[in-house]
């Protein structure tokens, strides 16, 4: 158990509401409403240790989690939340070694989670046409130490997607429809994809198109999360919660047999009464 | 893109409701209400291909996802759902190479997800005292091809936990309290843990004890998930949804400085009005 | 406290799951899986009394509530649930003496609640074009003893609505748009209305049209309800809940000043970040 | 359709977020960020009319609904929301002529709704021990014009409840348990009651006691509500929602037969898997 190195990144924790991602540069003070903390006091400590501020307040030095990176990336623009991202990791079955395509990097929250899931042998190719978001995303990816597993393409994916045989794809763009045929082409057979949409209208249009283009197992989930305040004799849900981020639509690519003189054929995938799978 | 091998495991998909995990043994027919499928017809195909049943119905051969393994493991006993498991992966920051402790293997749904996240270089040590669950879990871990990254301890963890410096811990037992001091001891400094509980009473007791024993960043989430049925002109949420699985309580281990003549000291971690983190 | 009369209607209660609305006719046995009950044993009892079945099981004789009438009416077709209906009563400010217009009687669940709210001096005019539903609704209204406060119009409301100066209106039809101008015309100035829709597409179209036709205070709510199972040491939410019934859109009629050469003018009613009202 | 009288109460509406309950006194200006409105301009108008502010902005003059009275009463203390109150009206089957007992008036939001439901022939007896809340409640009851149907008892109900044969009872106090025997005594046989509690611990204790004291049909509901923002092409749920107010526990009084040498006997009312009632 060696000490925390200079240049390391820690989560400086005061309480559930007040916590900061902090890069440890020598000789820097970090100021809070509860007094300042000398980064020199942190360097060399064991993770989990306490550190006192100039006002004698106790802070704790913790290891940042993927969840922290997502929440701290999320500030500027993010609508995809940890609740959504966790589910996507499972549905896409992301694991070390996989090749992932992402379209719509945004501030990089999903990208950090995907890269964390596929490292060290896998890779994420992510497309972001808006220069300022690509910047923010790269910064967030560096901070989370996963930038080496990611290529940020500063380009519009509708102009072309490099590579093929991706193991999974993630779309987080307002207008995913023009991209779906290309995504189908560059995915491996049977591979899963996900599209994130804020409105049900978008969901409807996306699901329809996915079925037409050659995807099956198309279904959509909405996820809610609520904090529970645990306190002796007063434990109860938080008064305010996030009511909406977006809807997550899943699908898996299938390969049609070539048939003469046939246009795109809808795959029979009528919504069923239960998403329960028989074994 | 080589064909699907004999002995391989596929998701045989008919529609959202009817899909099966299928091990491909030569010469076996697989019977469904939509006719039977010859496994010999599947062996050698590309993933994503279609296969016809004896009744001419179209089935699709897909790659199973972690989500599928969880849902198919879940049958017998499971209350931890993908929605909960996805969130736990993020909060525990699971990634390749990590050492994870799990107590309460159950049918192995969470274990499959954790092993998938930490492979190929990490490992999961999981404890299950009930022989029949340990059996089921090992079967599910084998089917998901992650058994080599897991040690299933057929033992009661209260009798002792092997190893130390775990990067993360997961508790899914009805009575987690006697285990918390030992979990604290075997976790690395600053490392995260999670406890899953069906009732708010358990949450309250767990959160209190965590704060006393030496954890901070203690907070609890409840996750809801709802299916959206996407169909042209009729898109709407599903009529029935899962109303409850359990509450997920997170915490991170801290290390107290030894102070003379002091009993356990509560960590000041008063529930705050917002779990938002400042940067 | 006189006894329950012959011909009276009671709620025969065994447990939360097994309870029946029962009309007390002399000499009739009522059969259940827990034995039969003689209605003669109930007649003359005080409400709240117990009665034994032929198998010695305890049943209780309760007064039916509006909630019971709704739930028992709901069987055949209903998608508007007590959670939705309760909210509508408040938003429409229904109270004794009011004149209410309902379009889309269905099985009469909302009608029963509205009639209960406005009796004895008020009245509900309800339109139902489908003969079989009008039948069911009348039966349910009779059973709830509110038929004398209701006129069931067996007619399509698009063909014309009788009366004017209604204090409130309730629309529960798949296609409310052609009706909205007429509803505007027959409502009193400033009076509230509500439209119930299963899909967000319908909500969007309805809200748009309401704003155009001359309604303000247009907003939409979605209501969820979950049962909590209270049992010593095991209290928790029910595993399964109703995930969706529909969306409830509210609005209040306004009167435009006649301006020369002006078509319908949209009322500035931009959705705001909070529905909180300042005082 | 006579004009709005001097002294009348209106809802002055600007948009969904900006609306005020306004008592019309002659010669008074009402100031808003959108300019001031002369009350003299409103007096004599038809409800639903528009009125211009000094800055030329359009405001609308609407009739306040029970919902408005509740939301505007709710400011100071309220945790019982319209979603909860609507459900309670139905479960208690409130209608004109009923005698209702309320304990814990608070700011009078529930009282306004109950009085509106039972007027003109019914009555609400409500108990509030805290003088300042009794004041606020009376003010809110006057504003909603239902004060003549309510007696506000400025007293602690544990010291005694006046009257008997109430048709329904509503408890909104932190510690309802000492009151339950007295509530049982003053209710009519078979009559319904409701208790509102912020925590599940309270629910558990309340439900247990209700079953012991002589209530059946004991069950608890949690209600969530979410706003939908309807806007062309962008319709979606609001980002933030109320996550918790409290749990609503219902029960109906039963009358035990006197049996020699028997202490309180639990009523068999085991929580069931479904609250669906058979007909």
The ipTM, to two decimals, is: 0.88
Residues C193, C168: Cα–Cα separation, whole Å: 5
Q: Is D54 on the interface with A (CB under 8 A)?
A: no
Of B63, B87, B237, the CB nearest to A83: B87
What token pair was written down for B218? Answer: 């203690």
CB contact under 8 A, D200 and A235: yes
Residues D237, D201: Cα–Cα separation, whole Å: 31
Q: Is A124 on the interface with B (CB under 8 A)?
A: no
Q: Work out the minimum CA distance from B194 to partner chain A, whole angstroms.
A: 13
- Which chains lie within 8 Å of chain C at 3 or more CB pairs, if any? A, B, D
Residue C263: what pLDDT? 40
Could you tell me which residue, D273 or D115, shows the higher pLDDT? D115
Binning pLDDT at 50, 70 and 90, where does residue C169 land? very high
What token pair was written down for B114? Answer: 């954790």
Residue C265: what pLDDT? 40
Q: Which of A75, A95, A166, A210 to mutate to test the interface with B (most CBs of B within 10 A)?
A: A95
pLDDT tens track for C173-195: 999 999 999 999 999 999 999 99
Q: What ranges make up the beta strands (E) of chain C?
A: 9-13, 19-23, 29-32, 35-38, 50-52, 58-62, 99-103, 123-127, 150-153, 168-171, 192-197, 215-229, 236-237, 240-242, 247-253
Omega cis (within 30) before C120: yes
Q: Which of A9-18, B8-17, B251-260, D242-251 has the lowest mean pLDDT?
A: B251-260
Q: Which of A249-253, B67-71, C94-98, D49-53 has the lowest mean pLDDT?
A: B67-71
What is the SS3 string spanning chain D? CCCCCCCCEEEEEEECCEEEEEECCCCCEEEECCEEEEHHHHCCCCCCCEEECCCCCEEEEECCCHHHHHHHHCCCCCCCCHHHHHHHHHHHCCCCCCEEEEECCCCCHHHHHHHHHHCCCCEEEEECCCHHHHHHHHHHHHHCCCHHHEEEECCCHHHCCCCCCECEEEECCCCCHHHHHHHHHHECCCCEEEEEECCHHHHHHHHHHHHHHCEEEEEEEEEEEEEEECCCCCCEECCEEECCCCEEEEEEECECCCCCCCCCCCCCCCCCCCCCCCC
Asked if the model's pLDDT at residue D40 lies above 60, the reply is yes
- For D237, name the nearest residue in chain A, comparing CA atoms only: A244
Q: Is A273 on the interface with B (CB under 8 A)?
A: yes
Of D17, D228, D254, the CB nearest to C274: D17
D201 vs B contacts (CB less than 8 Å): 200-201, 204
Asked if the model's pLDDT at residue B269 lies above 60, the reply is no
B199 vs C contacts (CB less than 8 Å): 233-236
Residue A277: what pLDDT? 32
Binning pLDDT at 50, 70 and 90, where does residue C75 land? low
Distances (CA, A) of D179 to B268, D156, D169, D263: 36, 10, 11, 19
Of B189, B226, B235, the CB nearest to A49: B189
pLDDT in tens, chain A (279 residues): 578 999 999 999 999 889 999 999 999 899 999 999 999 999 999 999 999 999 999 999 999 999 998 888 765 555 788 899 999 999 999 999 999 999 999 999 999 999 999 999 999 999 999 999 999 999 999 999 999 999 999 999 999 999 999 999 999 999 999 999 999 999 999 999 999 999 999 999 999 999 999 999 999 999 999 999 999 999 999 999 999 999 999 999 999 764 444 344 434 333 332 333 322
Residues D225, C225: Cα–Cα separation, whole Å: 9
Average pLDDT, chain B: 89
Residue A74: what pLDDT? 60
pLDDT tens track for B165-188: 999 999 999 999 999 999 999 999
Tell me what the mean pLDDT of segment B238-264 comes to. Answer: 79
Residues A47, C147: Cα–Cα separation, whole Å: 73
C243 vs B contacts (CB less than 8 Å): 226-227, 237-241
- For B204, name the nearest residue in chain D, comparing CA atoms only: D201
CB contact under 8 A, D16 and C89: no
Q: Which of A126-130, B191-195, D66-70 has the lowest mean pLDDT?
A: D66-70
In the stretch 190-219 of chain C, residues with CB closer than 8 A to chain D read 190-192, 200-201, 203-204, 206-208, 216-219
Helices A82-92 and B66-73, packing angle to 10 deg: 90
Residue B209: what pLDDT? 97
Q: Is B91 on the interface with A (CB under 8 A)?
A: yes
Judge if pTM exceeds 0.80.
yes
């Amino acid at each position: 158990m060696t000490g925390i190195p200079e240049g390391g990144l820690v989560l400086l924790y005061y309480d559930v509401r007040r916590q900061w991602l902090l890069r440890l540069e020598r000789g820097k003070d970090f100021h809070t409403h509860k007094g300042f903390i000398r980064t020199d006091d942190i360097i060399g400590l064991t993770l989990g240790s306490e550190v006192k501020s100039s006002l004698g307040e106790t802070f704790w030095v913790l290891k940042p989690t993927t969840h922290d990176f997502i929440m701290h990336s999320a500030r500027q623009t993010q609508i995809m939340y940890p609740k959504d991202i966790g589910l996507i990791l499972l549905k896409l079955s992301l694991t070390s070694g996989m090749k992932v395509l992402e379209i719509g990097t945004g501030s990089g929250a999903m990208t950090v989670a995907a890269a964390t899931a596929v490292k060290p042998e896998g890779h994420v190719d992510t497309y972001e046409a808006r220069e300022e978001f690509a910047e923010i995303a790269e910064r967030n990816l560096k901070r989370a130490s996963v930038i080496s597993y990611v290529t940020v393409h500063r380009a519009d994916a509708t102009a072309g997607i490099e590579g093929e045989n991706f193991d999974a794809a993630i779309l987080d763009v307002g207008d995913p429809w023009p991209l779906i045929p290309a995504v189908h082409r560059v995915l491996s057979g049977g591979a899963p994809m996900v599209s994130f949409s804020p409105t049900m209208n978008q969901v409807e249009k996306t699901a329809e198109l996915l079925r037409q283009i050659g995807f099956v197992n198309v279904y959509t989930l909405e996820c809610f999360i609520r904090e529970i305040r645990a306190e002796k004799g007063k434990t109860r849900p938080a008064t305010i919660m996030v009511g909406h981020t977006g809807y997550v639509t899943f699908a898996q690519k299938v390969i049609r047999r070539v048939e003469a003189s046939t246009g795109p054929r809808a795959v029979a995938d009528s919504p069923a009464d239960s998403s329960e799978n028989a074994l």
